[in-house]
């Protein structure tokens, strides 16, 4: 017979993402709705080990739906990678009577969750909260839509000054291992090109692209560069281009951590709300070691194993479209 | 053998929506990419009848991707509802050598497009540009995501003052025949309730909801009201509630036309870019009397007939979730 | 010898304004800086009467600098208009050992403060927190800059749709007794005209202005209307114009309470920070029954009497400039 | 007898600033209002030398009031530093019948304007358009308010993620020679400290400040750093602090050029409107070699000599306040 949890804990882990607060709110209120006790863990897995627990209720999560960041705070935990750390975490949960855990985070967080769940036969469900959008099992991760909109608001401003001075701007967006933010930002910004982990942009190709833009009388241009591309550091790219195009006025902007903050968009608030509910309901129907996601507007539960190891793929259609639109 | 168009025209019709400019840009650049002539028609069907045409090129649509509104302007046309008007429109197109038309608009615009296409055997493709999201054949229409984000930015501000004064605000959002904006805004705003064409909110239910909120110590509240709900005009609703809850401080705000403007979100820019390309490519592969849409991240061509008559459905899951989250 | 206060209370009163939280923060931290006890009163004068007090410290006001509204909440109080109410308020203050009060609000709030201060010889300083900007003794009131920026963001969006459809929009902004928001918004929006309490716009003048705009080929236009103008309700004005210009597409938008919310602008945050410090320092140097303001970048203390009765004047230069710029 | 100009030219020069378009619009419409011919010069002084002129009218400047950047574009010109370049510029103006020039820009631009005006006895008025706010003769320069609001929107987002992770962020804002943006942003952001050209922050002081913050339980902090401070490059500062506080999570963000773009705030739109009118009216009443500014809400004309050489001063009151508020 299915053992139904009576006391659920929730934590946020890894890099924070806009919408995490909305997800926590949805978890808490769903738990209350279904008559379960609900406890918030501060500082991610560190708080699990340190016993940094606080019982929550429906009112604890008021006015946080539209706030960036995570009020439960987040942290990386080396100790949770050790058996001793996980033992301590388990003891704290057991002592408090908590029998299920919801982890809001990215692939690293789910890897830890999976090991812990297996080790202690503890019921765990994940909610994809990361601006990187690099998880299999959900069309969008929580925070991705906000991060790209933030990037675009910045690039729109850069466009103003690029246009006033007929400049070429290289703009670095987040994405060490994936180009989701880069590609979508590039299309939405009308960027001349995008350099990202998933493509093999060469210097020859870049030179050709910039030459073609000149011929087409596009005098102010944006090139979006993902942190983790294969071509090189954005300053190296800039220096190369300055050498090749000495008459061009080339500038670099690195958007950095501001992409992680800000009030979440409608998309992220609704997604976080759906997934927070789905996580609690998944626990109630016995799901374990899975991530709740939305694919094709349906709630989907994907095993941690699959969510982590199958790479989310970049829609090649977007790459094709970007080429057409920068003509 | 398939007759492939050599000269494409594009117009925007009906109420304007953020992202229409991005769609025009995508149509123009795709046409250029495929070596076609491309002409912009001003003022929708009125401009078709008046011969208000302008040939466009790749540079004509620079710097419009992030602009609200439509630089081709839009208008409603009574004359296009008459055979004489459509005859005049056809003559203008024929005279200019235009052999295909892309209409960016909503259901009214597509009804006109369908009749015209049948009458003159003229190749027409539609692109869903309307903030109402009420078309079958696409998950989102162009402008819907921006309009809901605009609504939410306004409601977030109203929330500040509601909270400072422990007030109940009724906020009217657009949507004469559908509650898409209302429902999504309500979830994203953490609204107490939503009153929309698709539900049968009664006054009894409202009273009960507000009583429950008071018991749960929710002292400042938002209720989102769609223009076209069954309960009544927002001022009638407000007056009823003032009668029932004389101690409550109840205010009304009607967001109105500002929901139609503003720089489009990333979602709308990317969607408009995809659909503009898809419209041109649809013409090249012989599609006719269809609307280009995106369902499940795939381009779909839906016959005008179906797009207009099959109603886009409100996801009942969202209604269920909203109930849980306002506990 | 000067009696220096040892325990200061702070409250917000009247309609809320963005930046009130920033002002509270500045009051609290200045009090701590100068070694004084500091207590927050909830719900304005109502809380004073009800004894709704909470001692605050430096950490109580973290993360509120950029939040709209007022975490101390605000309310209007009929009881504070009675001697009994004020007696109760005084008793609560005396009982708690509070010997000075800072009131953040508008003219109504300062009237109450003045009476109370005289009646009980209680030291009170005011901080001008109102979006209306209608107080003498400060160039800008806290909230005014944010409210006009909010209005302008909305009108910019309305401009998009006005332009797409060649429409005339009448946009109502807040201001029952003064046209500060209206005039500044009109200039910043490039509005065709502004109707406000301080001018005597006639229907003849309006008709002439619209005719002139037509001759100058200005086909989409905005007219900004203050709530409290002499010409009439915005719907009456709209109906009159529809009668006069049947071919024009005329729409009305009432911005309403959203002008009161939102994260404060830099101007309001800095102003609120300055004035919060100035209020505490004013108490320490014996000021009483005065409002702290900034004129010509200097801190000025103006007697309540003067701040309330001398009207802030609309800069006639702005009216002249608006006429030139809408040519 | 006063020679009144009949044909005015306008150009934007130096780094662009939000509100330059609003200033151009005001210049053009004022010139039309006073019955003068008005010509726009593209690309600053380069366009003056190259004869890149375009006659403008009232309609040429529609819909630009709310746009960032400058549609006349801007550029730095080495040739205008040579007598030959200025001779060419003068010949172009004379040939076109232009007898007065308005230069929108910063100190470098006014230096060129002064030399040119003296050399050719040509009437020139300057309008302060620079985000740096470092000109004497005006309380604010056009673009400064927008740039600080942009900085603050970014820092507010960074605050979200700083708070989620208890991090210390060093945020670099623009300002090579002055700390106006840095200081005002720091107050508005509630930053722990500000490092700028005008102060002598030492490493010892920084260490002490961070230690004090820790004692006060301020775990997430922002330090604003102006580009041109005396302490060192932001990465050097970061590295030093990482060495001193190995347990702290310290990050760097450089806001960069996005501070130059974006739709201008109400303050900048109104200021630009006032100054554009004042520049034209100054020409009509014989002013020459002066910059139009607003001090104490009055239009002031300051000789170029003075505007350039007298430094705008940082209000020491703001530095004092910042110290109090970060307690």
What tens digit of pLDDT does each residue of B188-221 get?
A: 999 999 999 998 899 999 999 999 999 989 989 9
**Distance from the Cα of residue B160 to its chain's centroid:** 28
Q: Indicate if B145-260 has the same CATH topology as B7-143+264-309.
A: yes
C-chain residues near D297 (CB < 8 A):
139, 296, 315
D29 min Cα distance to partner chain A (Å) = 21
Top-level class of domain C7-143+264-309: alpha beta
From residue A119, give the alpha-carbon distance in Å to each of A103, A123, B86, C224, D115: 16, 11, 73, 67, 79
Q: How far apart are CA A128 and CA A119, in angstroms?
A: 22
pLDDT of B313: 83
D256 min Cα distance to partner chain A (Å) = 6
Map residue C146 onto helix, strand or coil: helix
> From chain C, which residues contact B within 8 Å (Cβ)?
12, 16, 18, 20, 67-70, 73-75, 150, 154-161, 163-166, 169, 251-254, 256-262
Q: How far apart are CA D114 and CA A197, in angstroms?
A: 52
pLDDT of A17: 97
CB contact under 8 Å between D157 and A261, yes or no, is yes
The partner residues of D38 in beta bridges, in order of sequence, read D8
With residues binned 3-state (H G I as helix, E B as strand, rest as coil), the percentages for chain C, rounded to 5, are: 45, 20, 35
The fold for domain D144-260 equals: Rossmann fold (3.40.50)
Q: How far apart are CA C252 and CA C109, in angstroms?
A: 33
What tens digit of pLDDT does each residue of C190-234 get?
A: 999 999 999 889 999 999 999 999 998 998 999 999 999 999 999
Q: B294: phi > 0 → left, psi -120 to 50 → alpha, else beta; which? A: beta
> If chain A, 327 residues long, is cut into consecutive pieces of 10 residues, what is the mean pLDDT of each piece?
91 97 98 98 98 97 96 95 98 98 97 98 98 95 98 98 95 95 97 94 95 92 95 96 96 98 98 98 97 94 95 87 91
D285: buried, middle or exposed (CB in 10 Å: 19+, 13-18, 0-12)? exposed
Q: How far apart are CA D162 and CA D324, in angstroms?
A: 22
Q: A286: phi > 0 → left, psi -120 to 50 → alpha, else beta; which? A: left
C43 min Cα distance to partner chain B (Å) = 8
End-to-end Cα, chain A, rounded Å: 62
pLDDT of B312: 82
> From chain D, which residues contact A within 8 Å (Cβ)?
12, 16, 18, 20, 67-70, 73-75, 150, 154-161, 163-166, 169, 251-254, 256-262
Tokens of D197: 């050209």
Q: Walk along chain B (327 residues) and give the pLDDT tens digit of each residue.
A: 778 999 999 999 999 999 999 999 999 999 999 999 999 999 999 999 999 999 999 999 999 999 999 999 999 899 999 999 999 999 999 999 999 999 999 999 999 999 999 999 999 999 999 999 999 999 999 999 999 999 999 999 999 999 999 999 999 999 999 999 999 999 999 999 999 999 889 999 999 999 999 998 998 999 999 999 999 999 999 999 999 999 999 999 999 999 999 999 999 999 999 999 999 999 999 999 999 999 988 999 999 999 999 878 888 899 999 999 988
Q: How far apart are CA C218 and CA D61, in angstroms?
A: 12
A-chain residues near D155 (CB < 8 A):
258
pLDDT of D26: 98
Give the best residue of B323, B325, B326, B327 to mutate against chain A (max A CB count within 10 A): B325
CB contact under 8 Å between C65 and D266, yes or no, is no
Counting as contact any 3 or more CB pairs under 8 A, the partners of B are A, C
CATH of domain C145-260: 3.40.50.460
pLDDT of D312: 83
From residue B171, give the alpha-carbon distance in Å to each of B16, B194, B219, C111: 22, 10, 17, 33
Scan for tokens 């053998």, then name that residue: B1
Map residue C66 onto helix, strand or coil: coil
CB contact under 8 Å between B33 and A327, yes or no, is yes
Q: In what order do the strands lie in the sheet with B7-12?
A: B53-55, B37-41, B7-12, B100-105, B123-128, B290-295, B298-303
pLDDT of D76: 87
C-chain residues near B253 (CB < 8 A):
254, 256-258
Select from A32, A139, A273 the Cβ nearest to the Cβ of B321. Answer: A273
The arithmetic mean of pLDDT across residues C58-79, rounded, is 95
Q: Decide if C132 is catalytic.
A: yes
pLDDT of B315: 86
Q: Give the active site residue among A132, A134, A193, A268.
A: A132
Cβ proximity of C170 and C188 under 8 Å: no
Mean pLDDT of chain C: 96
Length of chain A: 327
What tens digit of pLDDT does each residue of C139-171 get?
A: 999 999 999 999 999 999 999 999 999 999 999
Mean pLDDT of chain D: 96
Q: Is the pLDDT of residue C257 over 90?
A: yes
pLDDT of B297: 86
Q: How far apart are CA A128 and CA A220, in angstroms?
A: 37
D250 min Cα distance to partner chain C (Å) = 20
CB contact under 8 Å between C257 and B16, yes or no, is no
Q: What's the complex ipTM?
A: 0.96
Select from D69, D155, D256 the Cβ nearest to the Cβ of A163. Answer: D69
Query: In terms of CA atoms, which chain C residue is nearest residue B152?
Result: C258
From residue D251, give the alpha-carbon distance in Å to each of A309, D221, D241, D324: 30, 11, 10, 25
CB contact under 8 Å between B73 and C262, yes or no, is no
Domains of chain C by residue range:
7-143+264-309, 145-260
B260 min Cα distance to partner chain C (Å) = 6
A144-261 is a CATH 3.40.50.150 domain: no
Cβ proximity of A112 and A80 under 8 Å: yes
D-chain residues near A47 (CB < 8 A):
none
Q: What are phi and psi of D242, to 5 degrees?
A: -60, -35
pLDDT of A2: 77
Residues 6+ apart with CB under 8 A from B62: A218
Cβ proximity of A276 and A127 under 8 Å: yes
Select from D159, D216, D274 the Cβ nearest to the Cβ of C321. Answer: D274
Tokens of A38: 């609900």
Cβ proximity of A210 and A192 under 8 Å: yes
Cβ proximity of A7 and A34 under 8 Å: no
A-chain residues near B184 (CB < 8 A):
266, 270
Cβ proximity of D37 and D55 under 8 Å: yes
According to DSSP, the β-strands at D123-128 and D290-295 are parallel
CB contact under 8 Å between C266 and D148, yes or no, is yes
**Count of CB pairs separated by less than 8 Å, A with B:** 122
D-chain residues near C317 (CB < 8 A):
274, 299
CB contact under 8 Å between B266 and A218, yes or no, is no
Q: Is the pLDDT of residue D2 over 80?
A: no
**Distance from the Cα of residue A317 to its chain's centroid:** 22
Q: How far apart are CA D13 and CA C323, in angstroms?
A: 28
Binding residues of A: 15, 25-29, 76-77, 106-109, 130-132, 159, 167, 174-176, 218-220, 227, 251, 257-260
Three-class SS string for chain A?
A: CCCCCCEEEEEECCCCCCCHHHHHHHHHHHHHHCCCEEEEECCHHHHHHHCCEEECCHHHHCCCCCCCCCCCCCCCCCHHHCHHHHHHHHHHHHHHCCCEEEEEECHHHHHHHHHHHHHHCCEEEEEEECCCCCCCCCCCCECHHHHHHHHHHHHHHHHHHHHHHCCEEEEEECCCCCCHHHHHHHHHHCCCEEECCCCCCCHHHHHHHHHHHHHCCCCCEEEEEECCCCCCCHHHHHHHHHHHCCCCCEEEEECHHHHHCCCCCHHHHHHHHHHHHHHHHHHHCCCCCEEEEEECCEEEEEEHHHHHHCCCCCCHHHHHHHHHHCC
Query: In terms of CA atoms, which chain D residue is nearest residue A155?
Result: D258
Select from C29, C33, C145 the Cβ nearest to the Cβ of D266. Answer: C145
Tokens of B18: 């953020």
């Amino acid at each position: 017979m299915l053992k139904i949890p009576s006391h659920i804990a929730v934590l946020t882990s890894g890099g924070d993402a806009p919408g995490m607060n909305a997800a926590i709110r949805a978890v808490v209120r769903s738990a209350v709705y279904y008559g379960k006790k609900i406890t918030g863990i501060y500082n991610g897995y560190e708080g699990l080990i340190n016993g940094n627990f606080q019982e929550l209720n429906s009112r604890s999560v008021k006015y946080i739906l539209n706030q960036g960041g995570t009020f439960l705070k987040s942290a990386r935990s080396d100790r949770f990678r050790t058996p001793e750390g996980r033992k301590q975490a388990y003891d704290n949960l057991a002592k408090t009577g908590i029998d299920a855990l919801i982890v809001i985070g990215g692939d690293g967080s789910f890897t830890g969750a999976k090991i812990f769940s297996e080790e202690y036969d503890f019921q765990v469900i994940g909610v994809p909260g990361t601006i990187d959008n690099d998880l299999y099992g959900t069309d969008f991760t929580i925070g991705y839509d906000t991060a790209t909109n933030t990037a675009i608001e910045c690039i729109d401003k850069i466009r103003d000054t690029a246009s006033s001075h007929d400049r070429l701007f290289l703009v670095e967006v987040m994405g060490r291992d994936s180009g989701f933010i880069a590609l979508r930002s590039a299309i939405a910004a009308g960027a001349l090109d995008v350099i990202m982990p998933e493509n093999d942009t060469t210097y020859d190709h870049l030179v050709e692209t910039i030459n073609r833009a000149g011929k087409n009388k596009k005098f102010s241009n944006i090139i979006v560069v993902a942190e983790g591309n294969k071509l090189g550091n954005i300053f190296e790219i800039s220096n190369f281009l300055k050498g090749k195009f000495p008459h061009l006025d080339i500038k670099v902007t690195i958007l950095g951590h501001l992409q992680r903050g800000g009030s979440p968009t409608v998309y992220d608030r609704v997604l976080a709300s759906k997934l927070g509910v789905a996580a609690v309901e998944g626990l109630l129907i016995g799901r374990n070691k899975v991530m709740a996601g939305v694919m094709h507007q349906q709630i989907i539960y994907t095993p941690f194993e699959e969510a982590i190891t199958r790479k989310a793929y970049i829609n090649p259609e977007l790459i094709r479209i970007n080429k057409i639109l920068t003509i």
